Amino acid sequence: MDVLSMDTVEQYQVPEASVALWWLGQASFLVKSPGGVLVALDPYLTNSCKAVGEAYGYDMDRRVPPLMAPADLVGIDAYVVTHSHQDHLDPDTLQGFRAAGGRARYVAPADASEKLQALGVAPEEIEDVWPNRAVTLRDLTVRATLAIPPSRNDLTHVGYLMSVAGGPSVYFTGDTDYHEVLGECMAEDRPDVLVAVINGAFRNLSAAQAATLAKQIDPKVVIPCHHDLFPDNSLPPRILRTNLQMHGMGDRYRELKYGVPYVYPET
């Protein structure tokens, strides 16, 4: 697996009315608009969760190394966080980014906002969000969406709907359990792309639940994530395709490769 150069990402020309995604592993993505807006979503670029896992008896040692260093994020426009868990809001990634001179608009729900501030981010740098609260970054709108918390220790989880002006929208579920109201809410938005977590062992969406959500929402493309990085929290992503196939949607499954741009609409 090759490392990903931020120069490559910054120089990449996203076609008009399109959106580009780079998967960095787990639930970490870079998102770029045609206008050059570059967002880092839940960047986890270290191995800090190994110690967290050991404290609770889980193996959370990375199965694949980070594609880039935290300092490589310098130049992003927004640092977007779904919730405060360490594989989504990683103190080591954040501190490495800031130590290298990184500055961005931080977008986060309440618990994550508090954690950002505890890690040294000034309140005025943070855009606090909640479901339906949107932040506009030139030609990219980032709107927080409902997420069903798997436990009471972080009740402000959100997902995000990222929409290109005059172009497609991508729905990142974030860590969420399943409830039919989730699909009912998102079906109104008709996102083109669904990026779904599939790690039911930790009370997020299972592959079957993610497929059920896709059936409700009816996106054109379904992408799995959050299935790959930790030995005690991994599974074959094609289980999602199997479940989509049961709904007559197997052709919508896309499995991203680390650090390789995925552009929607596909050409």
Q: Give the pLDDT confidence score for residue 1 in this predicted structure.
A: 56
3-7, 105-109, 148-152, 182-186: least confidently modelled range? 148-152
Region 39-64 average pLDDT: 96
Region 143-171 average pLDDT: 93
Q: Is the pLDDT of residue 18 over 60?
A: yes
| Beta partners for residue 142, in sequence order | 135, 162
Q: Give the pLDDT confidence score for residue 258 in this predicted structure.
A: 96
Buried/exposed code over 80-118 (b: 16+ C-beta within 10 A; e: otherwise): bbbbbbbbbbbeebbebbbeeebebbbbbbbbbbbbbee
Mean predicted lDDT score pLDDT of the chain:
96
Region 103-119 average pLDDT: 97
> How many CA atoms lie less than 13 Å away from 229 in the CB half-sphere?
28
Tokens in use for 247? 């709904």
Region 122-148 average pLDDT: 98
Q: Give the pLDDT confidence score for residue 82 in this predicted structure.
A: 98
Domain ranges of the chain: 6-264
| CB distance 242 to 255 below 8 Å | no
Please tell me the class of the 6-264 domain: alpha beta
Residues 201 and 230: their CA atoms lie apart, in Å, by 12
Q: Is the pLDDT of residue 2 over 80?
A: no
Residues 239 and 245: their CA atoms lie apart, in Å, by 10
Region 207-214 average pLDDT: 98
Q: Give the pLDDT confidence score for residue 16 in this predicted structure.
A: 98
pTM over 0.75: yes
Percent of the chain scoring above 70 in pLDDT? 99
Q: Give the pLDDT confidence score for residue 9 in this predicted structure.
A: 97
Q: Give the pLDDT confidence score for residue 202 in this predicted structure.
A: 81
Q: Is the pLDDT of residue 150 over 80?
A: no
Region 85-96 average pLDDT: 97
Q: Is the pLDDT of residue 67 over 70?
A: yes
Residues 134 and 16: their CA atoms lie apart, in Å, by 22
Helix axis angle, 180-187 to 207-217, nearest 10°: 30
Confidence band for 153, pLDDT divided at 50, 70 and 90: confident
Confidence band for 154, pLDDT divided at 50, 70 and 90: confident
Q: Is the pLDDT of residue 257 over 90?
A: yes
Q: Give the pLDDT confidence score for residue 15 in this predicted structure.
A: 98
Q: If you ran DSSP here, which 8-state letter would residue 162 be given?
A: E
